[in-house]
Amino acid sequence: MALLKTIYAPDNTGCAAAYWKICDITVDPLAKHGDIELMGYVSSQAFSDGKNPLMIKTYEIRDDVFDSYFSETAMNVEGVNIYSQGYSYIIAYSGDFSDATEVA
């Protein structure tokens, strides 16, 4: 699973990442806190070829919606895993990826 969304690098080079993969998710259910880290690649081919990401973005999981995505109840559904929940959260709450396309 990944997200497709073109985001230009902040260094004004004109380079853009279009293929985004979650590389790290940390969750603390007791504190209702966590972070999701995405790596942005020029393309899915660049990712497949083992190229380095162009950008890395980190998003803090909001405590007011933590349970909706990462509680035991939310995670104990057939076909749901921490990555599918992470991508759903990013689309809903990051702002940057609200219009991203999910790909397998």
Beta bridge partners of 101: 4
* Burial class for 74, CB neighbours closer than 10 Å (0-12, 13-18, 19+): middle
Residue 85 lies in a domain: yes
pLDDT recorded at residue 64 = 95
Domain that holds residue 73: 2-96
Query: What pLDDT, in 10s, does the model give residues 10-55?
Result: 998 999 999 999 999 999 999 999 999 999 999 999 999 999 999 9
Total count of domains within the chain: 1
pTM, entire model: 0.92
Reported as a pLDDT band with limits 50, 70 and 90, residue 104 is confident
Residue 101 lies in a domain: no
Residue 103 lies in a domain: no
pLDDT of 85 > 90? The answer is: yes
pLDDT recorded at residue 12 = 87
Phi, then psi, of 91 in degrees rounded to 5: -65, -40
